Structure 1
Amino acid sequence: MISRPPPSPPPDLLFDAAALDDGQLVTLAHGDTRALVAPHVGGSIAAFYEAAGEAPSFHWLRPATRAAIDARDPLGMASFPLMPYCNRIRDGRFRFEGEMIDLPSGSGALRHALHGHAWRRPWTVEAQTADTLTLHFLHEPHDTQGSRGSGPRTGTGWPFRYEARQHLTLDARGLTVRLWARNLATWPMPFGLGHHPYYPRTAGTRIAARVRAMWEIDAEVLPVSLNAHPAVDALQDGLVVDDFDLDNNFSGWRREALIEWPHEGQRLALHASAPLDFFVLFSPRGLPYFCAEPVSNTTDWLNLRHAETVRRIDVGGTVLAPGETLEAQLAWLPERS
């Protein structure tokens, strides 16, 4: 779908240094590069930028606003973690090992549970140096008995106990995030993870990535069929973000992407490890940002995996045995001229 390029966002929207002067943010520094982290706002990254001397800062990710920091709103941050699943679960419900899991949800479009819960809760600083940070998160389900076979858990939330960590490293190459999770329940737990970054969007911004197919969506942004699409070919050559109005999952991602801001002379490589084999591109027209998300499961994977026409390789996600761990890594690497 072709759309008019949005106007370039004003500098004070992208580069509001005063908004980031907040004592609750943890600063990682390496040379002229900075990464600011907000453990209390869902373990989010608040900013990732470079400032050389008196030259203007360039933000590789859309920095957090003052309003987002004050409101502790992860949706206004630079990037936030996705656990224990990525994106939506249809109607906030899924069946797992014979039991119906019913997650808290709202009404209308919000009845579809969104992005798990780790992004909505504070994380704890476990370790810190000048250029590294380890955050810890522990989920204790409301069902403290942890019993099985008791029927649907209506609105009780994620019934599986688990812990997670994010280990962030800022070095000469860029910013690396290692995600880790362990099942602390006494029975198997379905699990997915990823990160939800926002990128500045100026006229001509483009992204290149190799993917196999795109999930078409219904009116409520839930996947219904996996098909070829012009965006698949465009991504291989370098998709101009303004040319496509998308909120779609891509299957068969090669775990690499390159974002370019040609007018600013900037390039950012995104690299990921397995199981981050899926890719979400969110580029609605008229906004001064877009999202390119490395994730381990497609939207609604916990329901799609039961469909006879869908292959396991197309939906992702995993099931962790008691005590089993899952790990993934992603990195944003500026390609400096």
Structure 2
Amino acid sequence: MSDEDITLTAGDAEVTVRPGNGGRVSGLRVGGVELLRQGDRFGCFPMVPWCGRTRDGRFRNGATVHRLPLNAPPHAIHGTARDAAWRTVRKSADEAVLTYDLVEPWPYSGRVTQQFTLGEDALTLTMAVETYESSFPAQIGWHPWFNRSLGGADDQDVRLDFTAAWQEERGDDHLPTGNRVDPRPGPWDDCFGMPGGVDVTLTWPGRLELKVTSREEWVVIYDEQSEAVCVEPQTGPPDGLNTRPRLVTPLEPLEATTTWTWRRL
């Protein structure tokens, strides 16, 4: 199938998926109101085969050290799939499935599959990485850019609410130092630990409440820009290829899911 844009609908919810632009969700509209920041770099893109920054663009798999392009010098950031064209393998009115085959500069072969399932009050995103050859460490995550405000005469900025067990202490290089600290007030470009699963609520007062949940225990919160805030569930912390690798093997793929559930206020 082609890499043309896909529109999913359920009730008054509408989602646009762009296979040709990194397999990202480029729009989520509820009752005609756009929740995601618009633009080719924004929406919600998949982070795979790693999330956030990889220190100095280097990671180790056993005795082998690999080097990745430094697309956020001095680090490599957010994987390779957001810059690639994905292939649509199935779509219906409320569901789509895309695939992407890992290629250079990632040093291992594998396939990534994304599934998008839209309901009247929820969007579920599922991603898996599998291989039939060499095993390798990997990460899965999502990087949504939620609009800070939704527009309108009585509009107010979004409020973020969550309870984390810890915050990864961030060094001057924007990477975790390895120390865990009590959660600190924002603004944030920080990773938090939620052992019971990611659970973050975004509230646009008087308009909409949206919950981001996942069984994974890691979430990065980024709210340092005036236009949008990011709530990023992922399978490990930044630099996780080096510090908390999750191994993809021919017998065991890496899989993760996040669900966004909303209600009007």
* Equivalent of residue 58 in structure 2, options 84, 87, 93: 93
Whichever structure has more helix as a proportion of its residues is: 1
CA distance in 2, matches of 1:204, 1:133: 32
Deviation at 1:140, TM superposition (A): 3.3
Q: Structure 1, residues 31-86: CA drift from partner, whole Å, max 9, x if none?
A: 211000110000010100123xxxxx322322x23xx2xxxxxx2x2100011110
Q: Structure 1, residues 116-174: CA drift from partner, whole Å, max 9, x if none?
A: 10111010000011111000111134xxxxxxxxxxxxxxx321111011111111231
Q: Is residue 2 of structure 2 the alignment partner of residue 39 of structure 1? A: no
Q: Decide whether the 8 Å contact of 1:160 with 1:184 is kept in 2.
A: no
**Counterpart of 2:73 in 1: which secondary structure?**
helix
Q: Is residue 113 of structure 2 the alignment partner of residue 165 of structure 1? A: yes
* Equivalent of residue 277 in structure 1, options 211, 214, 217: 217
CA distance in 2, matches of 1:271, 1:40: 27
* Equivalent of residue 137 in structure 2, options 183, 190, 193: 190
TM-score, normalised with respect to structure 2: 0.90
* Equivalent of residue 36 in structure 2, options 53, 61, 73: 61
Partner of 2:128: 180
CA distance in 1, matches of 2:198, 2:168: 17
Report sequence identity in percent: 27
- Taking only aligned residues, the RMSD between alpha carbons, in angstroms, comes to 1.8
**Structure with the greater alpha carbon radius of gyration:** 1
Partner of 1:3: none
In the alignment of these two chains, the number of paired residues is 255
> Within 5 Å, which residues of 2 pair with 1:15-30?
24-30=4-10
> Within 5 Å, which residues of 2 pair with 1:67-146?
68=40, 75=41, 77-105=42-70, 109-141=72-104
Q: Decide whether the 8 Å contact of 2:139 with 2:241 is kept in 1.
A: no
Q: Decide whether the 8 Å contact of 1:163 with 1:184 is kept in 2.
A: no
CA distance in 1, matches of 2:64, 2:7: 44
* Equivalent of residue 297 in structure 1, options 229, 233, 236: 236
The answer for unaligned runs of 5 or more in structure 1 is 1-22, 52-56, 69-74, 142-156, 232-243, 306-314
TM-score, normalised with respect to structure 1: 0.71
* Equivalent of residue 192 in structure 2, options 246, 250, 254: 250
CA distance in 2, matches of 1:212, 1:116: 27
Q: Is residue 254 of structure 2 the alignment partner of residue 326 of structure 1? A: yes
Whichever structure has more strand as a proportion of its residues is: 2
Q: Structure 1, residues 210-248: CA drift from partner, whole Å, max 9, x if none?
A: 2111112222211113211333xxxxxxxxxxxx22101
Q: Decide whether the 8 Å contact of 2:138 with 2:241 is kept in 1.
A: no
- The runs of at least 4 consecutive aligned structure 1 residues that moved more than 3 Å come to none
Q: Decide whether the 8 Å contact of 1:269 with 1:335 is kept in 2.
A: no
